[in-house]
Amino acid sequence: MFGTQINLSVVRKLVQLGMFIFMVYGASIVGFYAADKISNALPALACAYDAETADYCTLIPFQHQMGHRVGRVIAAGGDVLQAFVPFFITLITFLGMFVLLNKAFCGWVCPLGFFQEVVTMFGQKLGLNKTESLDESLVKRIRPIKWIMLSVLVFGLPILSGIGFVSHDLGDPFCKICPSRILTTLATGSSDQLYVDTSTPTFMTLSIIGDFIFGLMIALALTIRQPFCRICPMLALHAVFKKIGLVRLIKNGKPRCEKCGLCAKACPMDIREIHTDMEHSNVLFADCTLCGRCVEFCPDKDVLQMKYAMFPIISADPQYFKRRKKAQTTWEKVNLFGRYCNQTNKSER
Amino acid sequence: MKPQPTGSQIFLATLLCLTTLEASAIMAIRPAPAKEHQHDRRAPKIFNLTGHENSQIKFLTPDLQSSDIKSDNGQIALHPTGKDNYHALYASREHNGVQESAIRYVYFNGKPTGRSPSEITFLNKTDFEIIPDPLAREHWHYKAGDEIAFVIRFKNTPLALHPASLATSNASVLESLTDTQGRVVFVLPDDFAKTIPHARANEPGELLIHAKHADHGNRYATWLSSDYQVSPEHWQSTELGAMVVGGGFLFGAFVTGLGFKRRRKKGEK
Ligand code: SF4
Ligand code: SF4
């Protein structure tokens, strides 16, 4: 499907770059006033705090609807169904978009996901040693965090703040710690969202956690792939609806798979099940970002496939695999530190 | 009627000083002091029109439907229209030989009309007009320290190098000139005497942009009013934020060793 130079990862990077520019600076394209009115329910972390964003993520209306509508009706009484109407409208809008790309919103559209990949590339070019795969036990311990983030920070605390059980300062706690808020505003040249807020103990704590996570994410991303994605509540939200999306990941497992495992090594989210699962043909797991690397690095014909509804987008292919592997090796060889090392070694010899 | 807060008195006094027209020749639309019901989204929004005598008041919805509005001794009640986005409330009159106008853009929530606020701002409403370029977007507000821009227009033509002034309810006065495109930019002064360290705890201030013009012996004066808020910079420190980000980075670098240790091990093999 792709020429010798162009592969799926290159196409994806170009799409991600275009989406980053559109999501972070797109207000002038969609219109200044329209920018926060397009969907308000984007299945990716483009940020409402960015004055130049083209559209923004669904997590902010969800938090506000839980606090301002649902929580308040629970506390003060009233029409519960009516309180859920804005939430349902946002959810339907979200699903309308999500169905089209499924979890590929993470791997192809999200500005924060792209930023982490760029940092990892930067780390590799600096000659820092990439952690190829995290330990299985560590991955297992990290996985529940995204569900906790979604249930506690996006839904739980905002509802409790609407009821009055916790402070109103906890009305949108995920936004307060979200690294995309800091990243996208900094990318537009504004330091407005990089702060420690000393107004209340709650805001102070949240702003310190948010800033700390942002710095931590950058340092981790230099050597570890997609560190924040692994705990992102958007990943969990996608996982709830992954069955209805049109983009799918299919596996026709063969006995050779057992000894191979190249797909799992290629996976930036360390989804080992993509290798070990031999029972299911639908292998779109909760942590998948539909980046397609597993398909690219599968050496066996048609064992892994990425499909759009019934139509194949890319299928595993031995020829493609060879080219892709070569391209990866060539790409990874080019790094400042590596060259320096090679030269030193040569001169030492 | 409730006594006006001191800030408003200063505001009006500033306006009186600012204008070289007669002292009474001021038109400004300001929100009435907040009452309980104003937190209810379905309640009318109440405004006071200074200089309401002999004025014609009009109200324009986001889809550009115009209606006449009556004031009750200067008090105007705007009922929600069910249409989402900015509406324009404006008044005009002839006073002592001067064509005066005042305008304020008011946000209502409702069903989207599919129209951009730039249609309502750039529509020709009065001969001499101040046009926000742009208005603060939904969920955003003018706040102290922001750069805000306006176009000064006479009979649909922007006026280049034209003087305009900005006065705030906190007694600041700024004067500036439009550029060659008729656009004037002000940096909103950080002039709140007292700030409470919490965004929701501070009452907004009022700002008034004013310009006047003479053409073929006719004189014109116009005012645009809006609220503006305390800058959160009073309780948010960027320096501390950057330090915490740095701390997070160092912690991450320490935890991973940035791959150096592993490289050395590999190299040793
Ligand atoms: S802060 Fe994060 S969660 Fe909130 S709107 Fe921005 S991207 Fe979405
Ligand atoms: S399973 Fe495949 S498509 Fe999903 S994240 Fe891993 S490599 Fe990407």
Using one digit for the tens of pLDDT, what is the confidence trace for B1-60?
334 445 555 455 455 444 433 444 689 999 998 765 455 667 899 999 999 999 999 999
Phi-psi map region of A197: left, alpha, beta (phi>0 left; psi -120 to 50 alpha): beta
Residues B137 and B251 in one domain: no
Which region among A67-71, A125-129, A321-325, B192-196 has the lowest average model confidence (pLDDT)? A125-129
| Domain coverage including residue B251 | 232-269
Residues B251 and B161 in one domain: no
Mean pLDDT of B151-162: 97
Mean pLDDT of B160-168: 98
- Ligand 2, atom 8, residue with closest C-alpha: A291
Interface test with B, best of A28, A30, A32, A33 (most B CBs within 10 A): A33
Q: Say if residue B190 is exposed, middle or buried (CB neighbours under 10 Å; 0-12, 13-18, 19+).
A: middle
| Residue B245 resides in a domain | yes
Pairing assessment for the beta strands B28-31 and B45-50 based on DSSP bridges: antiparallel
| Residue B2 resides in a domain | no
B85: chain A residues, CB-CB within 8 Å:
33
Taking the centre of ligand 2 as the mean of its atom positions, its distance from the CA of residue A286, in whole angstroms, is 10
Mean pLDDT of A294-313: 97
A215: chain B residues, CB-CB within 8 Å:
244-252
Taking the centre of ligand 2 as the mean of its atom positions, its distance from the CA of residue B73, in whole angstroms, is 68
Residues B145 and B268 in one domain: no
- The b-or-e profile of A167-179 (16+ CB within 10 A means b, else e) is eebbbbbbbbbbb
Residues B152 and B266 in one domain: no
Three-state secondary structure call for residue B217: coil
Containing A195, the helix (H) or strand (E) segment is none
| Pairwise CB contact (< 8 Å): B118 & A33 | yes
Residues B53 and B33 in one domain: yes
Does A49 have pLDDT greater than 80? yes
| Pairwise CB contact (< 8 Å): B259 & A36 | no
Work out the end-to-end distance of chain A between its first and last CA atoms, rounded to an integer number of angstroms: 44
Residues B93 and B212 in one domain: yes
- Ligand 2, atom 2, residue with closest C-alpha: A294
Residues B125 and B80 in one domain: yes
- Ligand 2, atom 7, residue with closest C-alpha: A267
Count other C-beta atoms under 10 Å from residue B146's C-beta.
16
pLDDT at res. B8: 54
* DSSP sequence for A146-165: HHHIIIIIIIIHHHHHHHTS
Taking the centre of ligand 1 as the mean of its atom positions, its distance from the CA of residue B135, in whole angstroms, is 23
Report for A50-54, A96-100, A123-127: range of highest mean pLDDT: A96-100
| Pairwise CB contact (< 8 Å): B236 & A195 | yes
Does A222 have pLDDT greater than 70? yes
pLDDT at res. B23: 40
More confident residue, B261 or B3: B261
Q: What is the pLDDT of residues B193-205, one digit of tens each?
A: 999 988 888 999 9
pLDDT at res. B43: 87
What is the spatial distance between Cα B90 and Cα B75, in angstroms, rounded to a whole number? 13
pLDDT at res. A342: 46
Ligand 1 atom at minimum distance from A56 CA:
5
| Pairwise CB contact (< 8 Å): A195 & B238 | yes
Ligand 1 atom at minimum distance from A57 CA:
8
Q: Which residues contact B164 (CB under 8 A, 6 or more apart)?
A: B130, B150, B152, B175, B176, B177, B178, B184, B209, B210, B211
pLDDT at res. A5: 67
Number of domains in chain B: 2
Give the position of tokens 């070289």. Answer: B20
Taking the centre of ligand 2 as the mean of its atom positions, its distance from the CA of residue A107, in whole angstroms, is 9
Taking the centre of ligand 2 as the mean of its atom positions, its distance from the CA of residue A199, in whole angstroms, is 42
Measure in Å the smallest separation between the Cα of A128 and chain B Cα atoms.
5
Residues B62 and B90 in one domain: yes
What whole-number percentage of chain A has pLDDT above 70? 95
Asked if B112 is an interface residue toward chain A (Cβ–Cβ < 8 A), one would say yes
Average pLDDT, chain A: 93
pLDDT at res. A35: 78
Mean pLDDT of A154-169: 96
- Among partner residues A31, A130, A195, which is closest to B241 by beta-carbon distance? A195
pLDDT at res. B12: 53
What is the spatial distance between Cα B62 and Cα B83, in angstroms, rounded to a whole number? 7
Asked if B237 is an interface residue toward chain A (Cβ–Cβ < 8 A), one would say yes
Residues B109 and B217 in one domain: yes
Does A259 have pLDDT greater than 90? yes
pLDDT range class, residue A34, cuts 50, 70, 90: confident
| Residue B1 resides in a domain | no
| Pairwise CB contact (< 8 Å): B251 & A216 | yes
Measure in Å the smallest separation between the Cα of B85 and chain A Cα atoms.
10
How big is the A-B interface in CB pairs under 8 Å? 125
More confident residue, A32 or A194: A194
Containing B49, the helix (H) or strand (E) segment is strand B45-50
ipTM of the complex: 0.93
| Residue B203 resides in a domain | yes
Does B124 have pLDDT greater than 60? yes
The CATH number of whichever domain residue B207 belongs to comes to: 2.60.40.10
- Among partner residues A36, A207, A222, which is closest to B258 by beta-carbon distance? A222
Ligand 1 atom at minimum distance from A234 CA:
3
Which region among A15-29, A87-101, A335-349, B128-142 has the lowest average model confidence (pLDDT)? A335-349
pLDDT at res. A131: 87
Interface test with B, best of A161, A185, A188, A216 (most B CBs within 10 A): A216
What is the spatial distance between Cα A273 and Cα A314, in angstroms, rounded to a whole number? 20
Residues B47 and B133 in one domain: yes
Taking the centre of ligand 2 as the mean of its atom positions, its distance from the CA of residue A221, in whole angstroms, is 17
| Residue B264 resides in a domain | yes
**Secondary structure of B106-158 in HEC code, one letter for each residue:** EEECCECCCCCHHHHHHCCCCCEEEEECCCCCCCCCCECCCEEEEEEEECCEE
Does B243 have pLDDT greater than 50? yes
Measure in Å the smallest separation between the Cα of B20 and chain A Cα atoms.
36
A223: chain B residues, CB-CB within 8 Å:
256, 258-259
- Among partner residues B137, B197, B262, which is closest to A36 by beta-carbon distance? B137
Q: Does residue B177 contact residue B131 with C-beta atoms inside 8 Å?
A: no
What is the spatial distance between Cα A255 and Cα A278, in angstroms, rounded to a whole number? 9
B195: chain A residues, CB-CB within 8 Å:
none
| Pairwise CB contact (< 8 Å): B116 & A35 | no
Which chain A residue shows the shortest CA-CA distance from B114? A34
Mean pLDDT of B71-90: 96
Mutate to test the pocket of ligand 1, among A19, A55, A174, A184 (most ligand atoms within 8 A of CB): A174
Q: Does residue B204 contact residue B231 with C-beta atoms inside 8 Å?
A: no
Does B269 have pLDDT greater than 70? no
What is the spatial distance between Cα B212 and Cα B21, in angstroms, rounded to a whole number? 9
pLDDT at res. B14: 52
The ligand placed nearest to the CA atom of residue A251 is 2
Average pLDDT, chain B: 88
Three-state secondary structure call for residue B222: strand
The ligand placed nearest to the CA atom of residue A267 is 2
Residues B201 and B118 in one domain: yes
Ligand 2 atom at minimum distance from A293 CA:
7
Does B126 have pLDDT greater than 50? yes
pLDDT at res. B160: 98
Q: Does residue A36 contact residue A52 with C-beta atoms inside 8 Å?
A: no
Residues B226 and B241 in one domain: no
Asked if B247 is an interface residue toward chain A (Cβ–Cβ < 8 A), one would say yes
What is the spatial distance between Cα A187 and Cα A298, in angstroms, rounded to a whole number? 36
pLDDT at res. A2: 53
Q: What is the pTM of this model?
A: 0.88
Does A322 have pLDDT greater than 90? yes
Mean pLDDT of B76-96: 96
